[in-house]
Amino acid sequence: MTLDLTAASSTADPSTTLTADVVVVGGGAAGLAAAIALGRSRRSVVLVDAGEPRNAPAEGAHNVLGQEGISPLELLARGRAEAEAYGVRLVSGRVTGASGVVDSFTLEIDGAPVASTTQQVTARRVILATGLVDELPDVPGVAQAWGHTVLHCPYCHGWEVRDQRIAVLATSENALHQVMLFRQLSDDVTLFLHDALEPTEEQWEQLAALGVRVVTPRVERLVVDGTQVRAVEVEGGRSFPVDAVAVGPRFVARTELYEALGGEKTLSPFGEQIVADPRGATAVPGVWVAGNSGDLMAMVAAAAASGVMAGAAVNGDLAVADLARAVAERRAPFSAAMESEVALAVAGDRRHGL
């Protein structure tokens, strides 16, 4: 699902070149939170968003304090309005190139809705809130019901399937962890081994202790009615009625821009990500990361928190740089700042001809 960004009042003319203190790439919870934090510190900010939020298929966002169950698109719409209120410039489009160094970054944008145009944004700092892509198991029916009755996170959507018949589709060694968490939500949990390794003797004992059924034949497909899973079919034709299926996607952060700026993506047991310090600073000077591109497991609230943290860190970094520049200008023997200071001391208001 694509978020319609064309109605934003401050969306820039795609033929222009914009200059800002900070450019934020990505308009999800992390990117918007970072932009708002910077806007509230009176920094000039350009936020570029392609309008493809990861959680768009979901009916509601959960564990968002004070906004429980809010539509993901409604949450973003509110965030965009808040960002604009603090002077953030919203640009609809996809960043296709990035170059430069600290204090002089340039991003190339394929504009939307005029797809044939390109604009540039130049900025002193960059925050990448580009999110990730869920690489789903290649099983018919999974993608169709993804975000509805095919889910991953028990904290994001587990409550909504409590006490239902839950299947766990095993594609890695992490499946047993999922089984344990979803078993907390329902007494009726079935593990389909599918592509996973045969459980160890200890794991078989754990599954038995939890009362979890185990189906060993490979899964052929999910039987789906609209977005509602009805059953899991395995090799041999046997069908198991279920109400929800938990899967373990591979999480692939969007790292193309980071790599274009000289960074390197990092492999983890769950996928690929950008490594950063607790405040989002990466190994590339002047480049920060926020949200799922730096934390594969971050839920909406955690992504927003990381955005605020990155925004504050960038503002602090810019403040230090601004102070150093001001001191250097004051020390320069014939600087404009020194000339103004001397004129004020000698002539007072008469320097203006008064």
pLDDT recorded at residue 73 = 95
Run of H or E residues at 307: helix 300-331
16 has a pLDDT exceeding 80: no
Q: Over range 95-103, report the average pLDDT.
A: 97
Residues in the chain: 354
Answer yes or no: CATH 3.50.50.60 is held by domain 17-134+250-327.
Answer: yes
216 has a pLDDT exceeding 50: yes
pLDDT recorded at residue 195 = 86
Burial of 13 per CB tally in 10 Å (0-12, 13-18, 19+): exposed
2 vs 74, higher pLDDT:
74
Q: Pick 137-246's CATH classification: 3.40.30.10, 3.40.50.10310, 3.30.300.90, 3.50.50.60.
A: 3.50.50.60
HEC sequence for 20-39:
EEEEEECCCHHHHHHHHHHH
Q: Over range 184-207, report the average pLDDT.
A: 95
Give the whole-number percent of the chain exceeding pLDDT 70.
89
pLDDT recorded at residue 83 = 98
113 has a pLDDT exceeding 70: no
CA atoms of 239 and 49, how far apart (whole Å): 43
Residue 350's alpha-carbon distances to 344, 346, 353, in angstroms, are 9, 9, 5
Which ranges in the chain are annotated with CATH 3.50.50.60? 17-134+250-327, 137-246
3 vs 123, higher pLDDT:
123
pLDDT recorded at residue 330 = 87
Provide DSSP, 276-306: --TT-B-SSTTEEE-GGGT-TT--HHHHHHH
pLDDT recorded at residue 335 = 66
β-strand partners of 233? 221, 239
CA atoms of 228 and 164, how far apart (whole Å): 13
pLDDT recorded at residue 8 = 43
Residue 327's alpha-carbon distances to 47, 286, 324, 338, 339, in angstroms, are 31, 21, 5, 11, 14
CA atoms of 184 and 187, how far apart (whole Å): 8
Q: Taking the model in full, what pTM does it have?
A: 0.88
Q: Over range 188-203, report the average pLDDT.
A: 94
Largest Cα–Cα distance in the chain? 97
Q: List all residues 6 or more positions away from 199 whose beta carbon is below 8 Å from its beta carbon.
A: 176, 193, 207, 214
Q: Over range 173-187, report the average pLDDT.
A: 95
pLDDT in tens, 303-320: 999 999 999 999 999 999
pLDDT in tens, 114-168: 444 558 999 999 999 999 999 999 999 999 999 999 999 999 999 999 999 999 9
